[in-house]
Structure 1
Amino acid sequence: MDYVIRPVRAEEWAKARELRLVALRDPAAPIAFLETYEKAVERPDGFWQDRAATVAEGVVARQFIAEAPDGQWAGTVTVLVERPAGEVRFGEAAKVDQTHVVAVFVRPEARGAGVAEALFRAALDWSWELPGPPVKRVRLYVDERNARAAAFYRRMGFVPSGDSVPVPGQSAERELELEVLR
């Protein structure tokens, strides 16, 4: 694999925006992301700048990218820090110190090259090394209709936690929580 896996820097907000918009145009986007392309493309530059600055700090979140030798970003994953006394981001309040993997995407032309695996290793390593109270688990949600993603997450060691939540706006569909315990 010829990709460098690294965190996003604050000044790279435009590249982060571009990759997010590509992800939201992917055929799997309707069951992989809780945001639409139409909504994201309308967001002002300040939104993207703030988002990049937050993940660059690496305190409450961290975004990793896979950078090709030519500088193109081939994939991304974002990790949110969830503490019992912190903000509820998705699902219910954290019962333990944990992280939450979101916004997983690899460009179609880079799939099958180990990019997703490398991004997940970076996300897990970062989670286990966070300062403060040790992270007890890493979690994510996957739409029950997204069999390809669920199979990948299982290969990465994630198992069902037994919890699920309704897909926002689609009460008949469920997001299944998967986890890796420390």
Structure 2
Amino acid sequence: MSIAVRRITADDWREVKALRLRALADPVAPIAFLDTVEGAGRQPDGFWQDRAANASGSAASAQFVAIADTGEWVGTVTVLAHREHVDSGLVVGVYVADGHRGAGIIDALLDAAAEWSREQGLRELVLEVHVDNDRAQAVYSRSGFVRTGVTDTVGFGREWVMTRSLGTADGALR
């Protein structure tokens, strides 16, 4: 099975919604996402249309998806302008569907997010991962993220702050 990674379009809002609901139904969702299936499921179509439009056309955010050759959407990652650091992108909404994990999909998604961020002039990617989410921590470490030593406390517990430096087009670190 081959996988294509691409940025979403505004017309993808139905698929964006379906993939988000699938991610929120995952057993680790309570320590991985700041939302629930019930909460997201109550959002009107306009919410999803706006979400897709914002992540497809602005320089402030971008959502990337992994699509199997069968047409099934099997993964996603979003990069937002960091709220505190203007030279950083905040990685959120990372998900790869069960049955597709371990095949390098997350690496391709994170690399697409890094390339887009580099094109926006950003110097690093930042993410927060729950201290009990060992699987995600291992994936992020493998993809070049390192712990900063900072923890953040959110409604469902403590999270490690991790960063990934972005290289320039010639591979040099900024």
Q: In the TM superposition, what is the alpha-carbon distance from 1:165 to its structure 2 partner? A: 1.2
Distance 2:163 2:67 in 1: 27
* TM superposition shift of 1:125: 1.0
Q: Which runs of 4+ in 1 moved over 6 A?
A: none
Higher mean displacement: 96-105 or 9-18: 96-105
Q: How many residues align?
A: 166
Uncovered stretches (5+) of structure 1, i.e. residues with no partner: 83-87
Which residues in structure 2 correspond to 1:77-156 (within 5 Å)?
A: 77-82=77-82, 88=83, 93-94=84-85, 96-130=86-120, 134-156=121-143
* Distance (Å, rounded) in 1 between the aligned partners of 2:68 and 2:90: 26
Q: Look up the match of 2:160.
A: 176
Which one-letter code corresponds to 1:125 in the other structure? E
1:58 Cα deviation after fit: 3.5
Q: Is the 8 A contact 1:143 1:167 kept in 2?
A: no
Q: In angstroms, what is the RMSD of aligned CA positions?
A: 1.2
Q: TM-score, normalised by structure 1?
A: 0.87
TM-aligned CA deviation for residue 154 of structure 1: 0.5
* Partner deviation per Cα, 1:64-123 (whole Å, 9 max, x = no partner): 0011112110100001122xxxxx3xxxx22x4110110000111211221111111111
The 5-angstrom pairing of residues 71-82 of structure 1 reads 71-82=71-82
* Structure 1 counterpart SS, 2:71: coil
For residues 139-160 of structure 1, the C-alpha deviation after alignment (integer angstroms, 9 at most, x for no partner) is: 0000001011001100011011
Deviation of 1:179 after TM superposition, in Å, equals: 0.2
Runs (5+) with no aligned partner, structure 2? 167-174
TM-score, normalising length: structure 2: 0.91
